[in-house]
């Protein structure tokens, strides 16, 4: 699942999904990372400028969920995405953020390969620090969604359940920077 609803408030209101990376919208790069990392079907949660994102980006083969509450923060997008997955028969959701182009398919594949059951809770780590992507077994979705508020997403849930998290070191194959400010745009190609 790709969370791509952010409005880029610190980027002057430029929706992150539409930032250009390697000649295409950043959302396309992130979707390719998920697919190349072995994920499917791929779900994307849009919010800011959702219609424009759908018009400009190739989202073919994806399930698209539009989160009308996207200004409330990442928590609302995580809830919307997990809600869209409910009833699909999926055993887990691997969550990637659109604004982390330094995380590639190898990191996704590593986190995905640590799945063991519908109770799995897996996160990439960078020099021992928990980061993204994160995998939630389906039996955890209701509790994750219940605690997903504001811009915190699943942070509180992960902190509360830290002893259950399988950390998968990814610092040798990925960089976990975010594209949040104008200075961060230097990471885009």
Predicted local confidence at residue 55, as pLDDT: 97
What confidence score (pLDDT) does residue 105 get?
Answer: 98
- By CB atoms closer than 10 A (0-12, 13-18, 19+), residue 90 is middle
- Taking a C-beta distance cutoff of 8 angstroms, is the pair 151, 7 a contact? no
pLDDT band at 65 (very low <50, low <70, confident <90, very high): very high
Q: How many CB atoms within 10 Å of residue 180?
A: 15
Task: Write out pLDDT tens, residues 129-186.
Answer: 999 999 999 999 999 999 998 888 899 999 999 999 999 999 999 999 999 888 898 8
Rounded CA gap, 66 and 84, in Å? 10
Phi and psi for 159 in degrees, rounded to 5?
-65, -45
pLDDT higher than 90, residue 11: no
- How do beta strands 20-21 and 62-66 pair? unpaired
Contact partners, residue 159, CB within 8 Å, separation at least 6: none
Task: Give the number of other Cβ atoms within 10 Å of residue 181's Cβ.
Answer: 11
How high is the pLDDT of residue 152? Answer: 83
What's the mean pLDDT when you consider all of the chain? 95
**pLDDT-above-70 percentage for the chain:** 100
The whole-number pLDDT of residue 90 equals 97
pLDDT (mean) for 60-73: 96
The pLDDT score that the predictor gives to residue 150 is 86
H or E element, residue 74: helix 74-85
Question: Shortest CA distance to 188 belongs to which of 33, 29, 13, 5?
Answer: 29
Neighbour-count burial for 15-47, b at 16+ CB within 10 Å, e otherwise:
bbbbbebeeebbbbbbbbbbbebebeebbbbbb
Alpha carbons 158 and 9: distance in angstroms, whole number = 25
Structure confidence by residue, pLDDT tens digits, 90-105: 999 999 999 999 999 9
Q: Are 173 and 108 in contact (CB under 8 A)?
A: no
At 9 the pLDDT is: 81
Q: What percent of the chain has pLDDT over 90?
A: 87
Instruction: pLDDT band for 70, please (50, 70, 90 cuts).
Output: very high
What would the DSSP string read from start to end of 106-166? HHHHHHHHT--STT-EEEEEETTEEEEEEEEEGGGHHHHHHH-BGGGBTHHHHHHTGGG-E
User: Average of pLDDT values for 14-20?
Assistant: 93
């Amino acid at each position: 699942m790709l969370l791509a609803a952010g409005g880029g408030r610190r980027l002057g209101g430029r929706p992150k999904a539409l930032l250009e990376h390697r000649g295409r919208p950043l959302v396309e790069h992130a979707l390719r990372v998920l697919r190349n990392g072995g994920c499917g079907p791929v779900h994307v949660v849009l919010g800011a400028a959702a219609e424009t994102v759908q018009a400009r980006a190739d989202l073919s083969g994806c399930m698209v969920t539009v989160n009308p509450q996207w200004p409330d923060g990442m928590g609302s997008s995580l809830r919307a995405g997990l809600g869209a997955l409910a009833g699909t028969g999926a055993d887990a959701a691997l969550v990637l953020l659109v604004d982390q182009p330094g995380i590639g398919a190898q990191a996704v594949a590593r986190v995905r390969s640590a799945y063991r059951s519908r109770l799995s809770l897996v996160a990439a780590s960078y020099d021992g620090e928990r980061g993204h992507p994160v995998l939630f077994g389906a039996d955890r979705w209701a509790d994750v969604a219940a605690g997903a508020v504001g811009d915190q997403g699943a942070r509180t849930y992960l902190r509360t359940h830290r002893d259950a998290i399988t950390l998968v070191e990814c610092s040798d194959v990925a960089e976990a920077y975010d594209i949040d400010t104008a200075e961060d745009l230097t990471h885009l190609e």
